[in-house]
Amino acid sequence: MGLDGWGPDPRALADRLNGLDGVDAIVAPPYTALAACVEAGLVTYAQNVHWESEGPFTGEVSPPMLLALGVRGAIVGHSERRQYFCETDTGVARRSLAALEAGLGVIACIGETREERDAGATETVLSVQVQAIGDACGPHDRLVLAYEPVWAIGTGLTATPELAQQAHAFIKSLLDRPVLYGGSVKPDNAAELLGQPGVDGALVGGASLEVDSFAAICEAAARSRS
């Protein structure tokens, strides 16, 4: 499970998730909360990572910096990074490869906008995004993809389980790696989404900001795998 926001107390969340079998729970808080999450015993990812290990890149955080904190991986290419910070498919691939080569896990995000879906370009967009990551990284065993239909992020809209399954199956036909679903995942829709055979987990946004909400999604994931 992925967590791309932050709000709960790390120790309270760790206590709630302790003993939960059948699911890998990962948190990805802001950089200022990374150390606290690691210290609480949570599997912790950063929300981004740079492609160089050192150099004059003010404001960026390198793979060795994350490893020194005990961070285990990073989200790369989140839709908000692509939208607001102009990250490109090439940059996402570079970040993914650098993180993997440094020993980090990677959750690489892909997904189409509403305009692209309405134009019938979903598969074209996904093909280009996945190919960039696949060409750089291959089917690396620490690489996970996250399908984020941009039109379903923070909008309250959610892809139907059937749409999610269709997209995930297509993505896996391009690159044989696990695929998470991210797009308004909540406790009340998690079980149906995670019950789809091609949906390997969730990248959780706003519903991650409360312990009970995120824990309920993790518990739904565990039940779907039992």
Of 87, 112, 148, 219, which one is the catalytic site residue?
148
Known catalytic residue: 148?
yes
Judged on CB neighbours under 10 Å (0-12, 13-18, 19+), 113 is: middle
Of 78, 112, 168, 219, which one is the catalytic site residue?
78
pLDDT exceeding 70 applies to what percent of the chain? Answer: 96
**Boundaries of every domain in the chain:** 2-225
Whole-model pTM: value is 0.94
pLDDT in the model for residue 6: 58
Known catalytic residue: 115?
no
Cα–Cα distance between 212 and 226 in angstroms, integer?
A: 21
- CATH code: domain 2-225 is 3.20.20.70
Taken in order 195, 197, 201, 207, the sign of the CA dihedral is negative
Q: Helices in 40-178 by DSSP H: which ranges?
A: 63-69, 79-84, 89-102, 114-118, 122-137, 161-174
Q: In this predicted model, what pLDDT tens digit does every residue of 15-49 receive, in sequence order?
A: 999 988 889 999 999 999 999 999 999 999 999 99
